[in-house]
Chains A and B, each alone.
Chain A
């Protein structure tokens, strides 16, 4: 079993729909990252959180440390949101670098 599991693996939506991508992890963590990768493109960090909720534009990320679960929500989805969304966690414990463990990614396609 992977340390970081995402669901669904593939998600298709119509423009305007509310989207939720889930991430569950099995280890203690100090931080969780949500990343975005456009087709053929680079990887961009969307959020980094260790508790509660963060919002940026139409994107909202939440985390429940007790349940070891995080969700990424996209409100009023748009075709330009089509991308792979990747969840990654940094394990707990004192280190001076940010070694991450990644989920397999969720492929999101938003149709006009």
Chain B
């Protein structure tokens, strides 16, 4: 099993360009998340999808859109990139584990995005 995969690993954009970050998981998890990680800020939730067909805003959703394409895939789109969106983006997935509502999250390798 590959776990959680993300593409691309690195990307450089110019201000105003658009792009989509792709995420897929093969663990049959219901819930998927997009985070950004900035120095000194910790991980912050951008959007999440509790289950296939639903998406909700997290802590920092402005400037982003998401699509839960199917149970496996959850994409993050930047419509008009801004330098403030320079960050490392992580996708994660989770589900119930065993008999406890443990919600262990499994993270992808990250996408390092620079907006010039």
Decide if B45 is an interface residue (CB 8 Å cutoff).
yes
- Determine which residue in B30, B43, B94 has the highest number of CB atoms from chain A within 10 A of its CB, and name it: B43
Q: Is the beta-carbon distance between A97 and B31 smaller than 8 angstroms?
A: yes
A98 to B107, CA, bound (A): 13
Decide if B2 is an interface residue (CB 8 Å cutoff).
no
Decide if A83 is an interface residue (CB 8 Å cutoff).
no
| Residue in B closest to A47 when the chains form the complex, CB atoms | B104
A43 is contacted by which of B30, B31, B45, B107 (Cβ under 8 Å)?
B107
- Determine which residue in A43, A48, A90, A104 has the highest number of CB atoms from chain B within 10 A of its CB, and name it: A43
A104 is contacted by which of B30, B33, B42 (Cβ under 8 Å)?
B42
Distance (whole angstroms) from the CB of B92 to the closest CB of chain A: 8
Known: A43-B107, A44-B107. A97 touches B43 (CB 8 A): no
- Number of A residues with CB within 8 Å of any CB on chain B: 24
Q: Is the beta-carbon distance between A48 and B107 smaller than 8 angstroms?
A: no
B-side contacts of A105, CB under 8 Å: 42
Q: Is the beta-carbon distance between A96 and B105 smaller than 8 angstroms?
A: no
B102 is contacted by which of A31, A88, A103 (Cβ under 8 Å)?
A31
Q: Is the beta-carbon distance between A97 and B94 smaller than 8 angstroms?
A: yes
Listed in ascending order, the chain A residues whose CB lies under 8 Å from chain B are 30-31, 33, 35, 41-45, 48, 50, 86, 88, 90, 95-100, 102-105
Listed in ascending order, the chain B residues whose CB lies under 8 Å from chain A are 30-31, 33, 40-45, 48, 50-51, 58, 90, 92, 94, 100-110
